Amino acid sequence: MSERTFFANARLLDPASGLDETGGLLVEGRMIADFGAHLDTAPEDAEVIDCDGFCLSPGLIDMRVHLGEPGAEHKETLTTLSQAAAKGGVTAVVGLPNTDPPIDDAAVVEFLARRGREVHGVKVFAYGAATKAMEGKRLTEVGLLKQAGAVGFTDGLHAVSDAIMMRRVLAYASGFDALVLQHVEEPALTQGAVATEGEIATRLGLPAGPAIAEAMMLERDLRLVELTGARYHATQISTGAAVSELAGAKRRGLDVSADTAPAYFALNETSLMDYRTFARLSPPLRSEQDRREVVQGLISGAIDVIASDHWGQDQETKRLPFAQAEPGAVGTETMLQLALELYHRGEIPLLDLLAKMTINPANLLGLELGALVLGRPADLALFDLDRPCRIDADNLASKSKNTPFDGRPVQGMVMATMVDGRMIYDGRD
């Protein structure tokens, strides 16, 4: 295979620089050697890929996935996760620390980095746990974990609910310029809840918690951020009240950011009506008004990142009564397709949308990824912006197939994905 690959006739998209033009891109070995409208002739020794006007962008960065490995390989492995991510145009994933053993020790971070290299697919990064065993009682060694490669610190699905402990986490992390991520949900109000309080939960007889629990935890944390000066990221924003809190914090100049997942801007709580456990998520699906306000948060910039919250669950944990089923859905493979709905509806410009899955997460996590830069690794996604298709759970590459979007028509399809100059997915006809 040639050491040089030339993408011809591509619509080059780079949110970091604002680039949107037709041209070519040359890859030499692992790196981007040249790109732009001036590049219209392939070198003689290069393998040529005619993009036929398809979009060529930096590979997506999915900054919230459940790895499965180690500890839950029957639900997902790094190999199957990598295959799913590649089919979605994702070239880097960041795993939550809720593995078994949890990522609260430098040795686990190093193990995952080694396994990621062995899989030879997408790039695998990890968060370190904010507290030992994610129990909210003792701080982890943030400095050692960061030195080992942890790109942020979080207790994953569990909020650090004790205010004194959260203050310590933020203060300690700020000394290392480390990003703290929080699952913003007041646990005392949502314990045992599987739905959002309201008419639908009442009609279905499901244990429910108030949507305001999200903003309550977020507001407390923002006060602690003011106190400590830490870098703070709120995950999986699902309510309009939380969007308002974030917007206010940014106006006050706090170093805060947030992400949401496609489920919270593409679905609402009516998806629970048939007790379909694939729609059992954490946080739970919200009202239509909340869904619209999350979209507005993405438009305004109050929400910086779209992440999949990819979480494979097998049949044994999903084919149960709704209240007993495990939460979660797979999503790294369909993240781009669902996000493109916002572009096709005219709600968000294409470059602004792609920024939320490329340069924005890269900047937050301190990764030299997510942009078209000469001399940087050739991590690229080639996609047809307009091709219609339908999400089919049976054809997903993930080991688990638990998607609430099965059968949903979408517009957009990834054609190829490259990491470090290697084609790790090629779906061209």
Peptide bond preceding 210 in cis form (omega within 30 of 0):
no
* Residue 183 shares a structural domain with residue 257: yes
- Tell whether 414 and 324 lie within a shared domain: no
DSSP letter string, 239-256? -HHHHHHHHHHHHTT--E
CA atoms within 13 A of residue 15's CA, in its CB half-sphere? 22
Residues 147 and 37 in one domain: no
Q: Are residues 38 and 71 in the same domain?
A: no
Start-to-end CA distance of the chain, whole Å, equals 20
CATH number, domain at 416?
A: 2.30.40.10
Instruction: Domain count for the chain, please give it.
Output: 2
Residues 48 and 128 in one domain: no
Tokens read off for 239: 């309510």
Which residues are catalytically annotated? 309
The answer to the question of residue 394 being in a domain is no
Q: Does residue 135 sit within a domain?
A: yes
| Predicted pLDDT of residue 429 | 73
For residue 428, count other CB atoms closer than 10 A to its CB. 13
Asked if residue 71 and residue 212 are part of one domain, the reply reads: yes
Is 285 within a domain? yes
Domain that holds residue 420: 4-56+377-387+400-426
Q: Are residues 215 and 84 in the same domain?
A: yes
Long-range Cβ contact pairs of 116-121 (< 8 A, separation 24 or more) = 116/78, 119/78, 119/79, 119/82, 120/422, 120/424, 121/78, 121/79, 121/82, 121/83, 121/85, 121/86, 121/419, 121/424
Phi, psi of 400 (to 5 degrees): -100, 155
Confidence at residue 1, expressed as pLDDT on a 0 to 100 scale: 47
Tokens 């438009």, located at residue: 299
Decide if 80 is inside a domain: yes
DSSP per position, 267-325: --GGGGTT--GGG--SSPP--HHHHHHHHHHHHHTSS-EE---B----HHHHSS-GGGS
**How high is the pLDDT of residue 261?**
98
Same domain as 162, residue 32: no
- Interval 402-413: pLDDT, tens: 999 999 999 999
217 shares a domain with 353: yes
Q: Looking at the domain assignment, is residue 278 inside a domain?
A: yes
In a domain, 8, yes or no: yes
- 219 and 269 inside one domain: yes
Q: Indicate which CATH number applies to the domain containing 249.
A: 3.20.20.140
| Per-residue pLDDT tens listing for the chain (429 residues) | 468 999 999 999 999 999 999 999 999 999 999 999 999 899 989 999 999 999 999 999 999 999 999 999 999 999 999 999 999 999 999 999 999 999 999 999 999 999 999 999 999 999 999 999 999 999 999 999 999 999 999 999 999 999 999 999 999 999 999 999 999 999 999 999 999 999 999 999 999 999 999 999 999 999 999 999 999 999 999 999 999 999 999 999 999 999 999 999 999 999 999 999 999 999 999 999 999 999 999 999 999 999 999 999 999 999 999 999 999 999 999 999 999 999 999 999 999 999 999 999 999 999 999 999 999 999 999 999 999 999 999 999 999 999 999 999 999 999 999 999 999 999 997
Q: Has residue 305 been placed in a domain?
A: yes
- pLDDT on residue 2: 60
Q: Are residues 157 and 74 in the same domain?
A: yes
Residues 124 and 46 placed together within one structural domain of the fold: no
The C-alpha angle 269, 353, 156, rounded to 5 degrees, equals 55
Is there a domain that residue 395 lies in?
Answer: no
Cis peptide before 187 (omega within 30 of 0): no
